[in-house]
Chains A and B, each alone.
Chain A
Amino acid sequence: MALTPQQVENVARLARLSLSADEVERFGEQLSSILDYIEKLQQLDVSGVQPTTHAVGVTSTPLRDDEQRPSLSPDEALANAPQRDGTYFLVPRIIE
């Protein structure tokens, strides 16, 4: 199954990636061959088979108690912020 350049661009848009024209062409070919290979899964009969979301049972992973615990200070949490304003992360304007 060959992906069209439009399909590649659409997936890139959903993933918030801007691609060069060269990348659209190269990824188009590579994604097509990967998806062709994955088609192999259609050969199997999986009717009645339950999906595995996690290899371990959920019952063995109880939630911890909802108690106050020490956590990062605002300054620590913001230490890597590209831009901050007081205790907020600053981002470029949202409404264009």
Chain B
Amino acid sequence: MKTTDLTLAELSRKLAAREISAVEATRACLDRIAATDPALNAFLVVDEAGALAQAHASDERRARRQSAGPLDGVPLALKDIFCTKGVRTTCGSKILENFVPPFDSTHVARLKAAGAVLVGKLNMDEFAMGSSNETSAFGPCRNPWDPSRTPGGSSGGSAAAVAARQVFGTLGTDTGGSIRQPAALTGTTGLKPTYGRVSRYGMIAFASSLDQAGPFARTAEDCAMILQAIAGHDPLDSTSLDANVPDWVAPLKNASVKGMRLGVPREYFREGLDPEVEKAVRAALQQLVDLGAELVDISLPHTEYGVATYYVVAPAEASSNLARFDGVRYGLSLREQGGLRDMYFRTRAAGFGSEVKRRIMVGTYALSSGYYDAYYLRAQKVRTLIRRDFDEAFAKVDAIVTPTTPTPAFRLGERVSDPLQMYLADIFTITCNLAGLPGMSIPCGFTQAGLPVGLQILGKALDEASLFRVGAAYQAATDWHLRAPKEVV
């Protein structure tokens, strides 16, 4: 067994027992990245020198018996949306191609405080706008299970890096499914926390009322260990919740779904759902019954309005957030000809890719004079109806279980020419963000062609614990999450 085949929890135990050093673990990851990444393009930056220095520091702490905790010495990597002091941060965009942040995001600061070794920055759709990693200005990331296919998006690099066992865990962000969808398409475990559970400080903004950072790893337990380090109130983000952060990891040792009521929304099992995905998900639901859970038929009647609501709210907020990329303070600035106004137009035209321009324009249109009530205000009201659906469902059940995506990983290039078709495939993940709820995807099977299938688990606000519980109980009884793609060298 290679070092990189260990789960995060296993590595953490070996580091604590001094059976392996942080430098050895980090070198194993760097070697693995060097061997596999030319075929995957998961990494935009590999900070070899920085990672090895952090690993040495971790080993010295261990030698002094001053370990910073279970993540001390564990190699992780970050979606390139998190600002890292002194390390280039592009958000997948040409407009930030040479941006070197002067500060760390709260997530980066907290992971560093926990002793984690930050190996590099991961590929993503430009400004997190995309579902296939194909809108990245630095070329698409590829799926380790089949390099002709997408790893999903927008956190495609974060998912692929875990699936290819390049690092032991990663951070991504999820605005409409950007953690759960790539987790499903790559056979990894990914969690979007409750809105406000994790700070947004230093995470480049896309749609501020929906954006949330969360972990990818091989198992639910590994994700819990990462979330434990980054969750909790942050005075630098006024929307971060001042809520108690429970110990998520300890209860997972004997996780059981016995007695849990799991809702199965009928709106998620309809035409458009790939038969092989449905079969794998139905088998997973039966397995949960065998483990002692009770399935409850529920309805989330406004599910079919989720995509339309999202594609008003998210572009509207994006059009406002991305106004800051104006060539004045950082990033690309085309100012050789004309005055200030010309600089704005030229810089933004040259710096943004097509998908970002499209969404800025949809958002600008939806917020423009005369259309605000018909689009933005109406979408916010439908958002309330979607939240009520979940409130009513959670009066009857402890968690909701669904397919994460309607299909397995699709081919690169297959959907790029039709943006609307790309958007519609996000139907199962989007309502969770609109309602601010936590959601997780875990591997639950494979298609005949060997592509992973994901099971989505949705929880009540602030009840990440139930998601980890279902995930850990399922993973204790199954081995889908242990399977690895063939060597992608």
User: Which residues on the B side are within 8 Å of A89 (C-beta)?
Assistant: 328-329
User: Which residues on the A side are within 8 Å of B102 (C-beta)?
Assistant: 72, 76-77, 79-80
Tell me if B255 counts as interface (CB < 8 A to partner A): no
User: Which residues on the B side are within 8 Å of A80 (C-beta)?
Assistant: 99-100, 102, 329-331
User: Which residues on the A side are within 8 Å of B366 (C-beta)?
Assistant: 38
User: Which residues on the A side are within 8 Å of B358 (C-beta)?
Assistant: 27, 30-31, 34
Tell me, in angstroms, the Cα distance from A60 to B461 when the chains sit together. Answer: 13
Taking the nearest CB of chain B, how far is it from the CB of A53, in angstroms?
6
Taking the nearest CB of chain B, how far is it from the CB of A36, in angstroms?
9
State whether A82 touches B333 (Cβ < 8 A): yes
Which A36-72 residues sit within 8 Å CB-CB of chain B? 37-38, 40-42, 44, 46, 49-56, 60-64, 72
Tell me if B343 counts as interface (CB < 8 A to partner A): yes
Tell me if A12 counts as interface (CB < 8 A to partner B): yes
Given A60-B242, A64-B235, residue A55 in contact with residue B195 (CB < 8 A): yes
State whether B380 touches A53 (Cβ < 8 A): yes
Tell me if B245 counts as interface (CB < 8 A to partner A): no
User: Which residues on the A side are within 8 Å of B364 (C-beta)?
Assistant: 11, 14-15
State whether B335 touches A82 (Cβ < 8 A): yes
Tell me if A18 counts as interface (CB < 8 A to partner B): yes
State whether A41 touches B361 (Cβ < 8 A): no
Tell me, in angstroms, the Cα distance from A30 to B374 when the chains sit together. Answer: 20
State whether A44 touches B357 (Cβ < 8 A): no
Contact of B309 among A8, A18, A41, A83 (CB under 8 A): A41
Given A35-B365, A53-B380, A94-B339, residue A41 in contact with residue B308 (CB < 8 A): yes
Q: Interface residue count for B (Cβ, 8 Å)?
A: 75
Tell me, in angstroms, the Cα distance from A72 to B83 when the chains sit together. Answer: 14
State whether A56 touches B196 (Cβ < 8 A): yes
Tell me, in angstroms, the Cα distance from A72 to B104 when the chains sit together. Answer: 12
User: Which residues on the A side are within 8 Å of B307 (C-beta)?
Assistant: 37
State whether A41 touches B329 (Cβ < 8 A): no
User: Which residues on the B side are within 8 Å of A63 (C-beta)?
Assistant: 238
State whether A19 touches B349 (Cβ < 8 A): yes
Given A38-B311, A61-B239, residue A17 in contact with residue B329 (CB < 8 A): no
Say which size band chain A's interface belongs to: 35 or more
Query: How many A-B pairs fall under 8 Å by CB?
Result: 178
Given A11-B365, A14-B368, A17-B352, residue A61 in contact with residue B238 (CB < 8 A): yes
Which B349-389 residues sit within 8 Å CB-CB of chain A? 349, 352, 354, 357-358, 360-362, 364-366, 368, 374-375, 377-385, 387
User: Which residues on the A side are within 8 Å of B333 (C-beta)?
Assistant: 82-83
Tell me, in angstroms, the Cα distance from A22 to B340 when the chains sit together. Answer: 25
User: Which residues on the A side are within 8 Å of B331 (C-beta)?
Assistant: 80
Tell me if A91 counts as interface (CB < 8 A to partner B): yes
State whether B242 touches A79 (Cβ < 8 A): no
State whether A12 touches B361 (Cβ < 8 A): yes
Tell me if B348 counts as interface (CB < 8 A to partner A): yes
State whether A49 touches B385 (Cβ < 8 A): yes
State whether A81 touches B330 (Cβ < 8 A): yes
Which of B100, B194, B243, B358 counts the most A-chain CB atoms under 10 A from its CB?
Answer: B358
State whether A31 touches B357 (Cβ < 8 A): no
Residue of A nearest to B419 (CB): A30
Contact of B305 among A40, A55, A56 (CB under 8 A): A40
The 0/1 profile, CB within 8 Å of B marked 1, for residues 78-90 of chain A is 0111110000010
Taking the nearest CB of chain B, how far is it from the CB of A15, in angstroms?
4
State whether B360 touches A46 (Cβ < 8 A): no
State whether A41 touches B436 (Cβ < 8 A): no
User: Which residues on the B side are within 8 Å of A61 (C-beta)?
Assistant: 196, 238-242
Taking the nearest CB of chain B, how far is it from the CB of A85, in angstroms?
13
State whether B335 touches A92 (Cβ < 8 A): yes
Taking the nearest CB of chain A, how far is it from the CB of B467, in angstroms?
17
Tell me if B2 counts as interface (CB < 8 A to partner A): no
Residue of B nearest to A76 (CB): B102
Residue of B nearest to A15 (CB): B364
- Which 4 interchain pairs have the tightest Cβ spacing? A55-B436, A51-B380, A80-B330, A82-B333
User: Knowing that A15-B364, A38-B311, A44-B382 are A-B contacts, what are 12 other residue pairs whose CB atoms are under 8 Å apart, sorted by A's residue number?
Assistant: A18-B348, A35-B365, A37-B423, A38-B308, A40-B305, A41-B308, A46-B381, A61-B240, A61-B241, A94-B340, A96-B338, A96-B341
28 contacts between A and B (CB under 8 A): A8-B361, A11-B361, A16-B326, A17-B357, A27-B361, A30-B358, A37-B308, A38-B311, A40-B304, A40-B305, A41-B308, A46-B381, A51-B381, A54-B239, A55-B435, A56-B196, A60-B196, A61-B196, A61-B238, A62-B242, A82-B330, A83-B335, A91-B340, A92-B338, A92-B343, A94-B339, A94-B340, A96-B338
